[in-house]
Amino acid sequence: MKMGIDKRLVKFILISFGAIDVIKLLKVILKMRFYLVILLSLIWVFSASSWINSQADSVYGEQSLASGGQDRTMETKIQLEASVDRPELPFNEKLTLTVQASWDGKQDRFKITPITPPECQKFEILGSSSVNEAKMVEGKTKSTKTFEFILKPTETGIGRIGSVLFSYVDNVTEDSSSLSTQPISVTINPPVEKKASRYKILLIIAIALIFIYVIYSAKKKTKKIKIADQTEKEVKIPEKTLEERKLETLSDLSLLISEGKADEFSSKVYKLTTNYLEEKYQIFTTGKTTNDIINSLSTLNLPEEQIALLKDIMSTCDLVKFAKEMVEKERCEEIFSKVKRFLEQNVK
């Protein structure tokens, strides 16, 4: 009975003291309500800030993921190929080895180390060249770098072209790598004669025909010139003498007789005679009378017959010229005959 009373007492005491503590706590809280409001505000601000940061972290994570995906898409590979222009060739011809590297992107994506020429068996390298090219393929930039090697056979048989080492650095990822081509075998056959093309043969024939024609024409022309020169020498007409030329002129003057132009005939015959004497004997007749001219001839040792003949001809012409004497046709014909006889006597 005593034990039951003690327990209830203890319980009552604890409850009393607990109620007192709670009441005290509430009083304290009420006194500190201002601080409580501030505390709650701080708690709310902290909670909102944490939520915003979590959202930002989420967005940043998504962006990082997208960026990581983009970096992965920027990773690209170089494709390296090597080929020759033919699998076999004659010993006296040349071979072209082509090494081509291609990739998606611009030329400056990779820094390429200069390649070393391949080791060759039964071939020697005469020269090499390289060319860069970039073009658009389906809206994307595709770049290529091509190397060409010119090779010359050194002996017949199976020739071997060794691997080509291709080293490069990715300028985006800064990774370095290298590739190599597979060795290539080429059959080297004995030398063969090069057959001239049809057009070359026709051109040579045409040139030969033109050359033959030119030579033939030149010889033919030279022969014609020689024949003409020879004919000219053989058929060369001797130059006419002074007397022959005057006789031809006299023959032309005879037409004046038949036309009844005695005065004109006499005047021209006189002129013909004096011109002949000037050319033949270099005596001056212009302005001289017939007697003066005859006296000049006497110093030339001419036959008396010729001097008398000349005097008769010139005197008759003077009568017609100065005395206006009528001259009959028969008289003109007589003068014609005398002049003709005088000229013919002097023809050599």
Q: Which two tokens stand for residue 134?
A: 């970039």
Contacts of 80 (CB under 8 A, 6+ apart): 99, 100, 101, 166, 179, 180, 181
- Range 334-343 average pLDDT: 87
pLDDT category at 1 given cuts 50, 70, 90 is very low
The predicted structure's pLDDT at residue 319: 78
The predicted structure's pLDDT at residue 59: 34
User: Is residue 215 domain-shared with residue 256, that is, in the same domain?
Assistant: no
- Range 48-52 average pLDDT: 54
In whole angstroms, give the CA distance from residue 84 to residue 92: 17
pLDDT category at 26 given cuts 50, 70, 90 is low
The answer on pLDDT for 127 being more than 70 is yes
User: Is residue 257 domain-shared with residue 302, that is, in the same domain?
Assistant: yes
> Is 34 domain-assigned?
no
pLDDT in tens, 272-285: 988 988 888 888 88
The predicted structure's pLDDT at residue 149: 95
- The enclosing domain of 166 has a CATH number of 2.60.40.740
Helices (H) and strands (E) in the chain, counts: 8, 11
User: Is residue 249 domain-shared with residue 289, that is, in the same domain?
Assistant: yes
Measured CA distances, 214 to 204, 205, 225, 285, 329 (Å): 15, 14, 16, 62, 67
In whole angstroms, give the CA distance from residue 65 to residue 140: 24
pLDDT in tens, 214-265: 898 888 778 777 776 666 655 556 788 888 898 899 889 888 888 888 888 8
Strand ranges (DSSP E) for 6-116? 79-84, 88-90, 95-104, 110-112
The predicted structure's pLDDT at residue 331: 82
Q: Which domain-ending residue is among 189, 206, 227? A: 189
Expressed as residue numbers, the domain containing 248 is 242-346
pLDDT in tens, 320-331: 776 655 667 788
